[in-house]
Amino acid sequence: MTYNINYTVDINVGADLNGDGTPDFAFSDGTLATNLHLFIGQYPNLLKAMNEWEKVANIDFHYDANPGQNYAGWTIMLGKLPLGYFGSTEANDSTYSGGVVVIDETQTGVTSLAYGVGFKTLMHELGHTFGDSNYFGENHPTGPNTQTIMSTTVTPPYTLTPSILDIEAAQALFGAAVHNTGNTTYTMNGETIAGGSDSWHAGAGETIVTVWDSGGKDTISLASYSGSGGGLIDLREGLDGTVERYSKIGNSWLYIAYDAAIENAIGSMGDDSITGNDLANDLRGDKGLDNIKGGEGNDTLGGGEILWYPFTVLSAHDRLWAN
């Protein structure tokens, strides 16, 4: 699916409806968006938000900065909304081939759209352009941002990607994207998460992402963490009911999307807890007092420095569990 995106005032936006000398737009429910202006200063963050959706589903956002008056597509503007709204979206018709998105830049935290509630709002409103009256429609799903960015939750924690339920819904609608097909190592150093063609850093607060990986033998590694204490790695995908499963060290959190298989784990120098999945996992604790638990697959479990049959590399202080 291709979505045309424009941040230039077009024929649908621009009338001064309240007499303050700035462009306005009246949504069909009576909401008046005022003080509208171009997205130029936030353009890199707009591209970043589009890219996060494109990584997980077969969506192609086409950007055109100079479409002219007869442009058919979505117009994204910054401005001010009433009633405490952070953003609002309205399609021109039932085909969702175009419409208007307004982000309220006056809300606390929305001044920067690079992370936090501002970036969550940007991804959320882009989701409303998808034309699905259920998950991406006005009947918002419920849950914390770590499960769905399409909820109306505007309190922390905030994510830098669509979350588990969002990815599942977008892939059901458009099909899954091909992304990071090689042997990818996702490194977590306590602030930044990086792997394959991806790199995320919140800039302020916590770096929280959900990864979609469509191939290869992949690894989550905490080995680059230089802080004190250990971390948590959980290779199981998705949610267990409403219970979240994630990897964490320092201020970095990583969730795994449904059907994204991550096979291997490498711990930090601290005391780690590592849980495998149903695949054949290679789980290495490195130094520290580690708890390592394999899943249903034919796993290799390893700790630190002392050899101890039948496991590959163990420390005398590690606890190893195998199903």
Same structural domain, 10 and 121: yes
Domain boundary among the residues 135, 170, 194 is at 135
Identify the pLDDT of residue 28.
84
Identify the pLDDT of residue 15.
65
Identify the pLDDT of residue 64.
63
Domain that holds residue 55: 2-135
Kindly state whether residue 160 falls inside one of the protein's structural domains: no
Q: Are 232 and 272 in contact (CB under 8 A)?
A: yes
Same structural domain, 76 and 192: no
Kindly state whether residue 142 falls inside one of the protein's structural domains: no
Identify the pLDDT of residue 18.
64
Kindly state whether residue 153 falls inside one of the protein's structural domains: no
Tell me, what CATH number does 65's domain have? 3.40.390.10
Identify the pLDDT of residue 307.
39
Q: Which active-site residues does the annotation give?
A: 125
Same structural domain, 18 and 124: yes
**φ and ψ at residue 206, rounded to 5 degrees:** -100, 145
309 HSE (CA, 13 A, CB side):
0
Kindly state whether residue 152 falls inside one of the protein's structural domains: no
Same structural domain, 210 and 306: yes
**φ and ψ at residue 126, rounded to 5 degrees:** -60, -40
Assigned token pair, 40: 């130029």
Which of helix, strand or coil describes residue 231? coil
Q: Mention every residue, 6+ apart, whose C-beta is less than 8 A from residue 170.
A: 53, 56, 57, 59, 127, 130, 162
Identify the pLDDT of residue 174.
93
Identify the pLDDT of residue 109.
76
Same structural domain, 9 and 129: yes
Kindly state whether residue 109 falls inside one of the protein's structural domains: yes
Q: Are 215 and 250 in contact (CB under 8 A)?
A: no
Domain count for the chain = 2
Kindly state whether residue 150 falls inside one of the protein's structural domains: no
Kindly state whether residue 156 falls inside one of the protein's structural domains: no
Same structural domain, 115 and 231: no
Dump pLDDT digits (tens) for 99-158.
888 899 888 777 778 999 999 999 999 999 988 778 998 888 999 999 999 999 889 999
pTM of structure: 0.89
Residues of the chain with confidence (pLDDT) below 50 = 7-12, 67-71, 305-318
Identify the pLDDT of residue 46.
87
Cα(147)–Cα(238) distance, integer angstroms: 9
Kindly state whether residue 292 falls inside one of the protein's structural domains: yes
Which of helix, strand or coil describes residue 301? strand
Same structural domain, 196 and 129: no
Identify the pLDDT of residue 320.
62
